[in-house]
């Protein structure tokens, strides 16, 4: 099964992708995770991406396509994959189309998450991540709060807010989503691939999506 996951930042894309990975035995490819890993490692890609990410802007398409071409050629992608956070722009979608054609692969569906904006803003600005690199547990002040403020339940490490989860950057990311990424829904509707589910609870969105995928 080969899927694309579309949805605003904070819509639960990553969480629901992980559930689909387990259900269908495919791999999750998250450009956000790959980029954060590259920034942390200080690699050339990380050096190019860092400033864009801090502002909530998109990393240039050329950088992203280099990452994706390399990743999609890896052997673990053969049983299928879910693209989480990619494509993010029409040019990326067009480039992905060319790349899949070159690899003789087709897409099964584009999963679109429709989550209310107020839920998204509360979630994104309330998120806190454990700064211990070997833990990285994620909490949310709006639901899954840590027992003691600012301290990780699991390892006792300090919790921090990611730079791109401060309120002004969250608003910039949402604006970028509406302007650059939302048009992809129409783009893939023309190809008859879009499956939309609406709500806010990831578990319920996942169940609805599985029902629509029908496999
Ligand atoms: P979210 O979807 O919650 O914004 P991600 O983890 O997917 O978070 O992405 C974090 C950041 O990484 C984005 O704000 C953007 O700067 C960069 N990024 C991730 N994927 C892409 C992509 N496909 N194209 C351009 N930039 C990307
Ligand atoms: Zn921790």
Residue at 138 is within a domain: no
The closest ligand to the CA of 49 turns out to be: 1
Residue at 106 is within a domain: yes
Give the nearest ligand 1 atom to 52 CA.
Answer: 16
pTM assigned to the model: 0.87
d(CA 89, CA 92): 5
Residue at 145 is within a domain: no
Could you tell which of 31, 123, 170, 175 is best to mutate to test the pocket of ligand 1, judged by most ligand atoms within 8 Å of the CB? 31
Residue at 90 is within a domain: yes
Question: What is the per-residue pLDDT for 55?
Answer: 86
Question: What is the per-residue pLDDT for 163?
Answer: 83
Question: What is the per-residue pLDDT for 165?
Answer: 87
Question: What is the per-residue pLDDT for 94?
Answer: 97
CATH number at residue 82: 3.40.50.300
Residue at 190 is within a domain: yes
Q: Which residues contact 167 (CB under 8 A, 6 or more apart)?
A: 121, 125
Quote the domain boundaries for residue 48: 2-115+169-213
- Does an H or E element contain 21, and which? helix 13-24
Closest CA to 10 of 133, 127, 149, 175: 127
Give the closest residue (by CA) to ligand 1 atom 19: 32
d(CA 4, CA 19): 14
Residue at 69 is within a domain: yes
Establish whether the linkage from the previous residue to 202 is cis, with ω within 30° of 0: no
d(CA 63, CA 61): 5
Question: What is the per-residue pLDDT for 208?
Answer: 98
DSSP three-state, residue 112 = strand
- pLDDT by 10s per residue, the chain, length 215: 999 999 999 999 999 999 999 999 999 999 999 999 999 999 999 999 999 998 888 999 999 999 999 999 999 999 999 999 999 999 999 999 999 999 999 999 999 999 998 899 888 889 899 999 899 899 998 778 999 999 999 999 999 998 888 888 989 999 999 999 999 999 999 999 999 999 999 999 999 999 999 87
Pairing of strands 109-114, 27-30: unpaired
Number of structural domains (the chain) is 1
């Amino acid at each position: 099964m080969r899927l694309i996951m579309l949805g605003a930042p904070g819509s639960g894309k990553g969480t629901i992708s992980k559930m689909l990975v387990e259900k269908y035995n495919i791999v999750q490819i998250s450009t956000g995770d790959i980029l954060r890993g590259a920034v942390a490692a200080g690699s050339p890609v990380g050096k190019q991406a860092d400033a864009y990410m801090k502002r909530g802007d998109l990393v240039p398409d050329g950088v992203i396509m280099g990452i994706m071409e390399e990743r999609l050629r890896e052997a673990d992608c053969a049983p299928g994959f879910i693209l989480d956070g990619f494509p993010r722009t029409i040019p990326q979608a067009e480039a992905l189309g060319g790349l899949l054609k070159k690899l003789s692969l087709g897409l099964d569906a584009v999963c679109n998450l429709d989550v209310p904006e107020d839920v998204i803003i509360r979630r994104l600005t309330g998120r806190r991540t454990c700064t211990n690199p070997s833990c990285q547990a994620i909490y949310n002040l709006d639901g899954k709060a840590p027992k003691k403020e600012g301290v990780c339940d699991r390892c006792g490490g300090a919790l921090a807010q990611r730079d791109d989860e401060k309120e002004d950057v969250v608003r910039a990311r949402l604006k970028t989503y509406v302007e650059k990424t939302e048009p992809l829904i129409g783009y893939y509707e023309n190809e008859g691939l879009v499956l939309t589910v609406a709500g806010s609870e990831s578990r319920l969105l996942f169940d609805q999506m599985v029902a629509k995928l029908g496999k």
